[in-house]
Structure 1
Amino acid sequence: MPTKILEELKGLYVQVIHPPDKEGVALVEHLRRIGCNCEATWPLPTAINPSAAVVLISIERENRDRILRLFRSAQPTDPALLAVVTFEDPSTLQLVLECGALAVIERPIRPFGLLTNLTLARSLWLERRNTGKRIRKLERKLAGNNRTLKAKSILMETQGLSEQDAYESIRKQAMAKRISMDELAAAIINAHELLTFKDLRD
């Protein structure tokens, strides 16, 4: 995995949000030597480039509100974020935590520290993304199981079936209609709710 991540750094699209000073120029040059495809951005943009896989941002306390507007509502698909800092005082570190940075690069910029932290941030980002996918898959499965349980209960109540017979009925109907059991369960629930609503109105 680490070797694969290192290989993927070559050609990786990186957005560098940093003043075009000596440190900013050095940062972009180091990234390009690593093989990254860099976009230097300044002043602070109102949005992150959707093509960016990684974002490095200069953490300045006077830009706190604008930085948080950029990153506080981060989504799982958003790029890996690295914070570039000069000081390690509490307010700076608090801002680093609030914006969701996965690694920190200290000024003055050094090639070794940059590569290490870039690799670390990318690795953590990939792990978080994969974990998010697994969680969403489990949530969908749980929701589907709950729908099937509810549909079984409806069939048991309305048709006098046993739990096993209700399950087999859902399974066989789903196969016959060539749809998933979850889809059929949802249809049973919707039909039951419509009929119940109609009965209440009548």
Structure 2
Amino acid sequence: MDEQLRIVVVAPDLAPADPTDERAMRQAERSRTLRIGLLQHGFNLVAVLPTDMLLGAHLAQLQPDLVIVDAESEARDTLEHVVLATRDAPRPIVLFTDDEDTTHVKDAMAAGVTAYIVAGLAPQRIRPILEVALARFAHEQALRTELVQAHTALHERKLIERAKGLLMQRQGLSEQAAYEKLRKTAMDKGLKLGEVARRMLDMAELLG
């Protein structure tokens, strides 16, 4: 793993307003352990951000390679903020939490969380967790790219078939001749075959 990955942690303040709040103090201690673990392993921790309305703007400015969310009982609300903030620029999201209520894990993963780690945070676990999260994110992005490419190819094939049919109907060409005409036009104009087909269909629709 490249330790120079730009990592942002989304976490509560390390100094809770109420020092008698045991939950807040416990969460602050876990958050401190997480940050120390990152630094001990040489990771590039560029910022620690609160969960607020400016989170999206901060992430857009910092452009981190990975986002770590440190949350407890308010994990759902925190994740909603982070997922929304990374919607236009997807990146790995790792959640560390002590909240044993895992009823919303499925929703979190579907929303874009790459790894959901419940309890047991220890510095030596951080590296393998991040390695798995990055590998999973890369795999999922590759699958999404393949899906988009397949969808685009299918759409282009449909356009080409429709354009061929139009040429066959209006110019009395055979299917092969119609295809060759489309291909020659694409070559002459330096365009993709699907783009030529789309323009021809748009023009036919415009002229009626």
Q: Is there any run of 5+ residues in structure 2 with no aligned partner, and where?
A: 15-27
1:15 corresponds in structure 2 to 8
Aligned equivalents of 2:192, 2:84: Cα separation in 1 = 38
For residue 100 of structure 1, the aligned residue among 98, 102, 112 is 112
For residue 80 of structure 2, the aligned residue among 44, 47, 68 is 68
Residues 15 and 52 of structure 1 are in contact (CA less than 8 Å); yes or no, is this contact kept in structure 2?
A: yes
For residue 148 of structure 2, the aligned residue among 136, 145, 156 is 136
Residue pairs, 1:1-150, within 5 angstroms: 6=1, 8=2, 10-19=3-12, 20=14, 21-46=28-53, 47-48=55-56, 49-50=59-60, 51-62=63-74, 64-71=76-83, 75=87, 77-91=89-103, 93=105, 96-97=108-109, 99-150=111-162
Confirm whether residue 188 of structure 1 aligns to residue 195 of structure 2.
no
Moved more, 78-87 or 32-41: 32-41
Deviation at 1:106, TM superposition (A): 4.0
SS at match of 1:141: helix
Residues 30 and 111 of structure 1 are in contact (CA less than 8 Å); yes or no, is this contact kept in structure 2?
A: yes
Aligned equivalents of 1:66, 1:83: Cα separation in 2 = 10
Deviation at 1:74, TM superposition (A): 5.3
SS at match of 2:4: coil
**Aligned AA (1:110):** A
SS at match of 1:136: helix
Identical positions, percent: 24
Q: Give me the TM-score of the superposition, normalised by structure 2.
A: 0.79
Residues 15 and 55 of structure 1 are in contact (CA less than 8 Å); yes or no, is this contact kept in structure 2?
A: yes
**Aligned AA (1:182):** G
> Cα RMSD (Å) of the superposition?
2.4
For residue 183 of structure 2, the aligned residue among 171, 174, 196 is 171
SS at match of 1:61: coil
1:199 corresponds in structure 2 to none
Cα deviation code 1:68-89 (max 9, x no counterpart) = 1431585484121111111322
SS at match of 2:187: helix
Q: Is there any run of 5+ residues in structure 1 with no aligned partner, and where?
A: 1-5, 197-202
Aligned equivalents of 1:177, 1:97: Cα separation in 2 = 45
* Cα 1:96/1:150, change in 2 over 3 Å: closer
State the aligned residue count. Answer: 189
Q: Give me the TM-score of the superposition, normalised by structure 1.
A: 0.81
Cα deviation code 1:92-142 (max 9, x no counterpart) = 646644653222334453122211211111100011111111111222211
Residues 56 and 83 of structure 1 are in contact (CA less than 8 Å); yes or no, is this contact kept in structure 2?
A: yes
1:158 corresponds in structure 2 to 170
